[in-house]
Chains A and B, each alone.
Chain A
Amino acid sequence: MESLAIRVKEMDALIQKMRELADGLRDKAGGIQAVERNLDRISANLKMLEINISDVSDLL
């Protein structure tokens, strides 16, 4: 299980980077619907990654 724990922490770090990238893109969107609405969907999927990986990363 130890190697899985390390992988989970590494995955969590990458998920947070993806979240920062998405937030950065939203800052640049300036109301462009084609960007913001797709980001809403990306954000929902990022949340699922957080539920599956990030939420548990400090418990392993």
Chain B
Amino acid sequence: MEKNESLYWNPVIETLPQEKLQALQLKKFRRIVDWAYHHSPFYRRLYEAAGLEPGDIKRFEDIRKVPKIEKGMFRDVQKNEPFPYGDMLAVPCEKIAVFRQTSGTTGTPVYQADTWQDWEWWAESWCYILYAQGYRESDRVFIPFGYNIFVAFWAMHTASEKLGCETIPGGVLDTEARILKMKELRCTAFGATPTYVLGLAEKARKMNVDPAKDLHIKRITVAGEPGGSIPTTKKRMEDAWGAKVYDHIGATEIGAWSYECTEQPGGLHVNEALFLVEIEDVETGEPIAGPGRQGKMVITALDRVGKPCIRFDAKDVIRWSGAKCDCGRTYRMIEGGVVGRVDDITKVKGVLLAPTAIEEVVRSIPEIEDEYEVTVTKEGDLDEIALKIEIRKGREGEQEAILARLKDQLRVKTNLGYRISVHPPGTLPRYEVKARRFKDLRKHG
């Protein structure tokens, strides 16, 4: 072994110079487009309508000639045969081994078809994540997840097994039983949404279990929400558990494309050997190659064959980081994770607002409980934005000062004034998977 090879799941490609990574991406992009063109009727129609043949992609710049796909296309194509996936499929239905679906947060759920090779690829991409986050075969990994139609932590489970970790499914157990099982088995790691990481800690404290002292958790992988890349939310989670929290971003239609490493460099590595990430200006569609400027992500899963995902406009807003990570990986990083979604970043009172900015402020004030709720309404011609919070038990006497700090910081971070109401601790909704704390009711009249 050469020096430091053991730091990487695959030192061959994780430390490949950028120009060689790009050559690898081009080679694989051409291969997946050729595959889709010849095996998926949907992609064949799409590319023929654009006058594109796979052989037209000769240089990296040619990638932009390939038409993008959007979520609505995934939904529309499901109306076609073969049932229930439609003709985006690039293999016969008999070759589909794994069904998952999206949550349907933004509309009709998308049914996702994976061959066994695709499912092995999901596990492989998660191995890159877990290994970079310090998971080793000595870990005992708990998966407090409902093992259902959503991909969520299924792939973390299979990757954890593949890494050789002892892997414990916490499926149908309730939150209390999960805490007791983690304690009983001295689990060293788990994965959950940021909301549930905080919810588990809150429940544990009610059971007189201090997660930081009474459990043995050293590392937590979060996904499904932006909290893992919001410094104040990450700090809350790490303080509550006495553990390191690492972020990861993925999606059902795409795969597990990005992850934070143990260096916690303030950004997430893009797994550039398995995915091609492009960033485009939201308004003009022009490519953004350099760091600092945010835009929307267009992504390709370079090795997913059952239902290919090629140049998917995912509506996620990200920006390249200019930093080099001390971990030695040459994969580029995105700064601060997914900043928001094109659909979520909305104008309130004429000001652009990203819900993550509110979370950052609320979670920066320790006297405020973890849960909160934001509602945007329209009263007459005016937008109103209401924020519900809970103040921690024993700190009620400081309410006036806490609210003053909250209003000040919200004004600084978001340029907006809020109608704030205080609710008794534990009365706002609690969530086990993805939280829905931001509600824009203007769209519903």
A interface list, Cβ under 8 A from B: 1, 3-4, 8, 40-41, 43-45, 47-48, 51-53, 55-56, 59-60
CB distance from A58 to the nearest CB of B (A): 9
B interface list, Cβ under 8 A from A: 2, 5, 10-13, 16, 20, 23-24, 27-28, 115-117, 119-121, 124, 273-274, 303
Asked if A51 meets B27 with Cβ closer than 8 Å, knowing A3-B2, A40-B116, A56-B16, the reply is no
Asked if A44 meets B117 with Cβ closer than 8 Å, knowing A8-B12, A51-B274, A53-B12, the reply is yes
Cα–Cα, bound, A8→B303 (Å):
20
Main secondary structure of the interface of A (DSSP, over half): helix
Chain B CB within 10 A, most for which of A40, A59, A60 = A59
Q: Is the CB–CB distance between A51 and B2 below 8 Å?
A: no
- Report A-chain residues with C-beta under 8 Å of the C-beta of B16: 56, 59
Q: Is the CB–CB distance between A48 and B24 below 8 Å?
A: no
| 30 A-B contacts (beta carbon < 8 Å) | A1-B2, A3-B2, A4-B2, A4-B11, A4-B12, A8-B12, A43-B117, A44-B115, A44-B117, A45-B120, A47-B117, A47-B121, A47-B303, A48-B120, A48-B121, A51-B121, A52-B10, A53-B12, A55-B24, A55-B27, A55-B28, A56-B13, A56-B16, A56-B20, A59-B16, A59-B20, A59-B23, A59-B24, A60-B12, A60-B20
Asked if A41 meets B116 with Cβ closer than 8 Å, knowing A4-B2, A52-B13, the reply is yes
Closest to B303 in A: A51
Cα–Cα, bound, A48→B28 (Å):
14
Closest to A2 in B: B2
Cα–Cα, bound, A40→B16 (Å):
30
Q: Is the CB–CB distance between A47 and B120 below 8 Å?
A: yes
- Report A-chain residues with C-beta under 8 Å of the C-beta of B27: 55
Cα–Cα, bound, A8→B10 (Å):
11
Cα–Cα, bound, A1→B273 (Å):
18
- Report A-chain residues with C-beta under 8 Å of the C-beta of B24: 55-56, 59
Cα–Cα, bound, A58→B13 (Å):
12
- Report A-chain residues with C-beta under 8 Å of the C-beta of B13: 52, 56
CB distance from A50 to the nearest CB of B (A): 9
- Report B-chain residues with C-beta under 8 Å of the C-beta of A56: 12-13, 16, 20, 24, 273
- Report B-chain residues with C-beta under 8 Å of the C-beta of A40: 116
Closest to B23 in A: A59
Cα–Cα, bound, A48→B20 (Å):
19
Closest to B123 in A: A48
- Report B-chain residues with C-beta under 8 Å of the C-beta of A45: 120
CB distance from A18 to the nearest CB of B (A): 15
- Report B-chain residues with C-beta under 8 Å of the C-beta of A52: 10, 12-13, 124
Question: Contacting B124 at CB < 8 Å: which of A3, A48, A55, A60?
Answer: A48
Q: Is the CB–CB distance between B116 and A44 below 8 Å?
A: yes
Supplied contacts A47-B121, A60-B12, 12 more A-B pairs, CB within 8 Å: A1-B2, A8-B12, A40-B116, A41-B116, A44-B115, A44-B116, A51-B121, A51-B273, A51-B303, A55-B24, A55-B28, A56-B13
Cα–Cα, bound, A47→B16 (Å):
20
Cα–Cα, bound, A3→B5 (Å):
12
- Report B-chain residues with C-beta under 8 Å of the C-beta of A43: 117
- Report B-chain residues with C-beta under 8 Å of the C-beta of A41: 116, 120
Cα–Cα, bound, A59→B27 (Å):
10
- Report A-chain residues with C-beta under 8 Å of the C-beta of B23: 59
- Report A-chain residues with C-beta under 8 Å of the C-beta of B117: 43-44, 47
Closest to A37 in B: B116
CB distance from A49 to the nearest CB of B (A): 10
CB distance from A57 to the nearest CB of B (A): 9
Cα–Cα, bound, A3→B13 (Å):
15
- Report A-chain residues with C-beta under 8 Å of the C-beta of B2: 1, 3-4
Cα–Cα, bound, A49→B11 (Å):
13
CB distance from A25 to the nearest CB of B (A): 17
Closest to A51 in B: B303
* 8 interchain residue pairs of minimum CB distance: A44-B117, A44-B120, A59-B20, A48-B124, A44-B116, A52-B10, A47-B117, A56-B13
CB distance from B124 to the nearest CB of A (A): 5
CB distance from A26 to the nearest CB of B (A): 15
Chain B CB within 10 A, most for which of A1, A8, A53 = A1
CB distance from A10 to the nearest CB of B (A): 12
CB distance from A53 to the nearest CB of B (A): 6
Asked if A51 meets B12 with Cβ closer than 8 Å, knowing A43-B117, A59-B20, the reply is no
